Structure 1
Amino acid sequence: MFEIKPHPELSWSISRHKTLLECPRKYGYDYYASHNGWLRDADSLARHTYRLKKLTNLEMLFGSIVHDTIYQVIQYYLETRQVPSEQKLIERIRQQLNEGFIDSTRREHLWHDKPKHYTMLHEIYYSQHDRLPEDKIAKIQKRLGTAMNNFLTSQTFQDIQSPENIRFVESEDFRYMMVGDVKIYIVMDLVYRDLIEDKWVIVDWKTGKASAEDRNQLALYALYLKQRYNIDSLDKIVIRNEYLLEGYHKEHALNSADLVNVQNLFGMSIQEMSKYLVDVEKNEPVDINQFPMYQEERKCARCNYQEFCFRT
């Protein structure tokens, strides 16, 4: 049974860690000030913060829709052995992007009351215009065709089209793992076993540029998989990034140092997060004003909470 608590549970993920590094104030809004903001009787600040937390931008919306589309295409192929045309996939994604634009420009009142169920684009919310920048539209249009073409010709999708050689691990089988009292969230795009090579393959689809964190993210997933399925050797785990904009994949050869590094990262990150707690056991945070602001013009311009930080 769901229990309403005054403070959220302390959990960890790569994205949470990256948010803390980017700006502690944003981290405070994301993981503490917005807590319970979805409740009808929540105070106005929590509701407002939660609403801003749910803002997205055109690139993020595009990435989310692409990930959902890939999942649906794979499920459809496994059921029917048919592959939708590239053009059909492009039109499906374009339609969903248009729905997000319509939500943002014509359904703002619905988003205001139910921000989880409607889309509000950062570009619309903060510009107060019912249009998107032309350069962003052109960029997404270009990415749309590129991403779908590269997905359909990717190494992973080629593997999937030989289903007799692979066995999928259901996404419900991985959610989180516990390290001490801390829940570490695991959100893997795709996991399957290569029966021919006797390998476990972890795949992460990327709709952005490669970053230094990509390897750590996959190493975390490998650590979970090794523990969850009692895999005796790292040699049996393949971690693969599929970069859909560039049209290539990159596989990493894991070693024990990778797992040690990600465990050390977790330890140091949790220690840093604890600095912003009044009560560690209850995960009760300090006042939001005690979360420092890291001001950087480019990042602040993209932040969901800029109206809090730069009130006039």
Structure 2
Amino acid sequence: MFEVKAFPEFSWSFSRHKTLMTCARKYAYEYYAGHNGWLYDADEAARHVYRLKKLKNVPIAFGQIVHELAERALRMFLNHGYVMTEAELVGEARKMLNQAYLDSRDRKQQWLQKPARFHMLYDMYYEGELNRMEAEEYRRRLPIVFQNFLASKSFGDITGRPQTMQFQQAEEFRFMTVDGVKIFVVMDLLYRDLETDKWVIVDWKTGKEAEDDRSQLALYAYYLMQKYDARVEDIQIRNEYVLTGVQKSYTLSEGDITLMLEKMKQSVHMMRRYQLDILSNEPAELDDFPRTSYEQRCQMCNYKEVCLAPSS
């Protein structure tokens, strides 16, 4: 049964860590100030921050749509043996992007009341119109990413020899507990290759390669080690960069896992500094979360409306 709590549950994830590293004040808005803002009787300040949390810029919306359709294509094949075509995937993606635009343009009042049910694009909220060049660039990318997705090693393995695969639920929220902290793990695709007797973790990437891509998958590998008693040498982690068609696979070592856990624990320690009470997760005052010194980040932040207001 759902229970309304004064403060959110403390947990750790890569996205939470990245937010803190970007800006501690943004971290406060993202994980504390909008808590319970979805409730009808919440105070307006919490509702306001919660609405801002739901804003999406075009790159974020694009990435979410590609991930959603990749999962749909996988389910379609696994459940019905049907391989969606590039034209079908691109067509669905265009509909979803158009719906996000139409919601942003025509349904602002509905979004203000139910921000989780309707879309609001960042540029439409703050500027009243899209950046046309950016929007056209992401529309241009749609055929590229879905062509590369369908041609990827991971999708090819699945459709080419499904009888040798043992699948786990895709895009499912999983968690484990490390030193009493709930750690969230969200995998795009997880399966057991029965031919090689390996676990395979796949992450679809719609952007450029980043330094922490491998560390993120090391966390996923540790989850398998804990839940399924898998050995690290029996786990293959794979990044599929669908914008470029590049695929990178790794087998980790125990040293990689140890390094990842140390970094995670350091991150948890940093987050703990902003708690007044560890048990309840009551946060420090908003002013105790410093703003980033890189002011250019503020201009593209969801929370600039409240963070940069004279009274804040």
Equivalent pairs, count:
309
Which amino acid is 2:285 matched to?
Answer: D
Q: Distance in 2 between matches of 1:240 and 1:291?
A: 36
Q: Distance in 2 between matches of 1:95 and 1:304?
A: 24
Q: Distance in 1 between matches of 2:287 and 2:101?
A: 33
Q: Is the 8 Å Cα contact of residues 172 and 187 (structure 2) preserved in structure 1?
A: no
Residue 211 (structure 1) aligned with residue 179 (structure 2): no
Q: Distance in 1 between matches of 2:273 and 2:173?
A: 30
What is aligned with 2:250?
Answer: 252
What is aligned with 1:261?
Answer: 259
What is aligned with 2:13?
Answer: 13
Q: Distance in 2 between matches of 1:37 and 1:70?
A: 31
Check 1:173–1:113 CA distance in 2 against 1; reply closer, same or farther (3 A cut).
closer
Residue 283 (structure 1) aligned with residue 281 (structure 2): yes
Ranges in structure 1 where 5+ consecutive residues have no aligned partner: none
Q: Residue deviations 1:87-144, cap 9 Å, x none? A: 11101100000000001010000110010111100011110x2x31121122102211
Q: Distance in 1 between matches of 2:206 and 2:26?
A: 23
Q: Residue deviations 1:156-211, cap 9 Å, x none? A: 00000110111101248761001132100010000001110110000000011111
Q: Distance in 2 between matches of 1:171 and 1:309?
A: 36
Q: Distance in 2 between matches of 1:158 and 1:301?
A: 41
What is aligned with 1:179?
Answer: 178
**Moved runs in structure 1, 4+ residues, more than 6 A?**
none
Q: CA deviation at 1:286?
A: 0.7
Aligned ranges 1:293-308 → 2 under 5 Å: 293-308=291-306
Q: Distance in 2 between matches of 1:172 and 1:74?
A: 11
TM-score after normalising by structure 2: 0.96
Residue 67 (structure 1) aligned with residue 67 (structure 2): yes
Identity %: 46
Which amino acid is 1:24 matched to?
Answer: A
What is aligned with 2:164?
Answer: 165
Check 1:126–1:174 CA distance in 2 against 1; reply closer, same or farther (3 A cut).
closer
What is aligned with 2:223?
Answer: 224
Q: Is the 8 Å Cα contact of residues 172 and 186 (structure 2) preserved in structure 1?
A: no
SS in 2 for 1:302: coil
Q: Distance in 1 between matches of 2:255 and 2:19?
A: 25
SS in 1 for 2:186: coil
Q: Distance in 1 between matches of 2:131 and 2:50?
A: 26
Q: What RMSD in Å do the two structures reach over aligned CA positions?
A: 1.3
Q: Distance in 1 between matches of 2:264 and 2:153?
A: 31
Which amino acid is 2:29 matched to?
Answer: Y
Check 1:144–1:166 CA distance in 2 against 1; reply closer, same or farther (3 A cut).
same
Q: Distance in 1 between matches of 2:18 and 2:205?
A: 16
What is aligned with 1:108?
Answer: 108
SS in 1 for 2:248: strand
SS in 2 for 1:39: coil
Q: Distance in 2 between matches of 1:301 and 1:295?
A: 12
What is aligned with 1:121?
Answer: 121
Q: Distance in 1 between matches of 2:214 and 2:170?
A: 21
Which amino acid is 2:289 matched to?
Answer: F
Q: CA deviation at 1:301?
A: 2.0
